[in-house]
A = this chain, B = another copy of it.
Amino acid sequence: MYRSHNCGELRITHRGQSVTLSGWVQISRDLGGLTFVDLRDRYGITQVVFNMDDNADLCEQARKLGREFVIKVTGIVNERSSKNPNRPTGDIEIIASSLTVLNASKVPPFTIENETDGGEDIRMHYRYLDIRRAPVQQNLIFRSQLAIQSRKYLSDLGFVEVETPVLIKSTPEGARDFVVPSRMNPGEFYALPQSPQTFKQILMVAGMDKYFQIVKCFRDEDLRADRQPEFTQIDCEMSFVTQEDILNTFEGLTKHAFNALKNIELPDFPRMSYDDAMEKYGSDKPDLRFGMEFIDITDRAKGYDFPVFDNSEYTVAIVAKGAADQFSNKDIKNLTEWMQRPQVGAKGLVYIKYLPEGEVKSSVGKFYSDDVLNDWKTQAFNAETGDMVLVLTGEKEKTQKQMNVLRLEMGDRLGLIKEGDFKPLWVVDFPLLEWDEESERFHAMHHPFTSPKKADMDRMLNGDHETMKSLRADAYDLVINGSEIGGGSIRIHDRELQSKNFDLLGFTKEEAEDQFGFLLGAFEYGAPPHGGIAFGFDRLCAVMNGQSSIRDFIAFPKNTSGRDVMINSPSPIAKEQLEELSIDLDIKE
């Protein structure tokens, strides 16, 4: 027997009992006559005492223990003279009577503490040491608990978890597929699923009624800091439902998760149309933890002989409350330059300061008199003395995006985001199609299976090219604190409408048949109305814990080159493997 208890459970009520613990040496302190060892496992830390007077040999052994040695200790639970109130086991210690070293340890390359001295790279290389640290361990435990609670909520509602296949078929739509050469079918490949989309729709045609799955998905994309080639979704689909049913069900799931795991009661989630979100926040995933809504002053700003505004499609302002005397000229110069970086691409940044002394100061004061700006203060900006207004102008869509960046930056700089604040939002009424000027074709805003709103179906089947741009979809996103948690839609369940959609998206009949023929075929055998949603599970974990990186919630993440540095993968494979798979390497220099 390795242990009678774990290192987190002994209390004063165990006083006098003989116990056996196993774990890792967190720290060993030699105080001459006494050696104290903090013994750690997943459940906590317990202090073990070796007494030179009682057992000199044992104490000598204990003195030799290094950090992260794995040991087994037997002893008597004793009440501590100086208790540690910060530790659940802090009232007791173990007076050791035997010690076994189960495994030695080299000195770890970084400290196994909540705050470690190890950088990202080394921690990933020695991920098994990193996970020993309580914050990482707690993240993984949180993740498993979120899965439990999600499954519980959905199962209680009659959802059935069905495993869809991982080896599926490549469809060169959307992101790039990872592919798997088939040994038994030379020249042919499986693909790893970017999502179980078509399979969950097939399950609805199959009458499964309510499906869910917590499932790995794969995208071979160039990785940004916060993307992973494999990621996890809570994937759902329901039959005989409207958008309203789906929003209610998954708002319920989200509330349940926050309640069960964070002890937070979320109020009902507001809803906002895609158009409103773009007008007010320049983003389809607005962070509602602070206001600073966009104020469109395009028309108001024209007619003052300032050609930049006069000729602009769109001029937009935000009000930075109380910021007038917080931002020096130099601050504003820096902010302007920050906005002019290629990643953001603003041409310039106009400010209007309503200074505490009553004065108005603006980079466009030459064109707009104090009287005009004071009129705007009340009539347009609803601003107060002491506020600063920031203005961007230019082509509408671009300027909205730039102002979104500025708004988030200002919210951050002004400290408007409170820790522990959660502001969920449903963004609804997305456009069905997006026109891409470059490729001169439509893209699906959500995906090719999304249904237009009922009112738009006729227009879709019969309308002209311009009409297509105005079609609205029964599509929706859940956004929390400016992060997209998930999205979904009511799906097309009619073969004709689905064919029309493939048409619009530029599929030839043959391509549509080749890639999605099984789904089109299924629609001919009694497909029910259905819809669904998928939550990014990694993202939800991170957002619920107020963290920005999903990597901290993944046991073995890959780096931005798609590499697992611990196991050193990917790696070359044997020539025989390539031969069996009927492929050759063809590496361009």
Known pairs A165-B230, A166-B218, A556-B199; A189 contacts B571 (CB<8 A): yes
A588 close to chain B: CB less than 8 A: yes
A229 nearest in chain B by CB position: B167
**Interface residues on chain A, number (Cβ under 8 Å):** 125
Pair A189/B570 contact, Cβ less than 8 Å: yes
A444 close to chain B: CB less than 8 A: no
Pair B185/A563 contact, Cβ less than 8 Å: yes
Pair B148/A148 contact, Cβ less than 8 Å: no
Point out the residues of chain B lying under 8 angstroms from A1, CB to CB. 242
| B-facing residues in A176-208 (Cβ within 8 Å) | 176-192, 198-199, 202-203, 205-208
Known pairs A127-B206, A526-B70; A166 contacts B216 (CB<8 A): yes
Interface of A is mostly: loop
Point out the residues of chain B lying under 8 angstroms from A568, CB to CB. 169, 517-518
A3 close to chain B: CB less than 8 A: yes
CA distance A190 to B189 in the complex (A): 15
| B-facing residues in A73-105 (Cβ within 8 Å) | 102-105
Point out the residues of chain B lying under 8 angstroms from A192, CB to CB. 166, 180
CA distance A393 to B566 in the complex (A): 53
Pair B41/A209 contact, Cβ less than 8 Å: yes
Pair A206/B128 contact, Cβ less than 8 Å: yes
CA distance A106 to B558 in the complex (A): 48
> When each residue 436-464 of chain A gets 1 if its CB lies under 8 Å from chain B and 0 otherwise, what string results?
00000000000000000000000000000
A186 nearest in chain B by CB position: B587
Distance in angstroms from A106 CB to nearest chain B CB is 5
A580 close to chain B: CB less than 8 A: yes
* Known A68-B526, A131-B206, A584-B586; further 16 A-B contacts with Cβ < 8 A: A24-B526, A42-B207, A70-B529, A105-B526, A106-B524, A108-B525, A128-B202, A132-B207, A163-B555, A169-B570, A177-B577, A180-B180, A182-B562, A184-B562, A187-B572, A582-B587
11 contacts across the A-B interface (CB closer than 8 A):
A24-B528, A41-B209, A105-B525, A127-B206, A144-B160, A165-B555, A168-B569, A170-B577, A182-B562, A184-B222, A187-B572
Q: Identify the A interface with B (CB < 8 A).
A: 1-3, 6, 22, 24, 40-43, 68-70, 102-106, 108, 126-132, 137, 140-141, 143-144, 147-148, 151, 155, 160-170, 172, 176-192, 198-199, 202-203, 205-209, 216, 218, 220, 222-223, 229-230, 232, 240-242, 493-494, 517-518, 522-529, 554-556, 558, 561-564, 566-574, 577-588
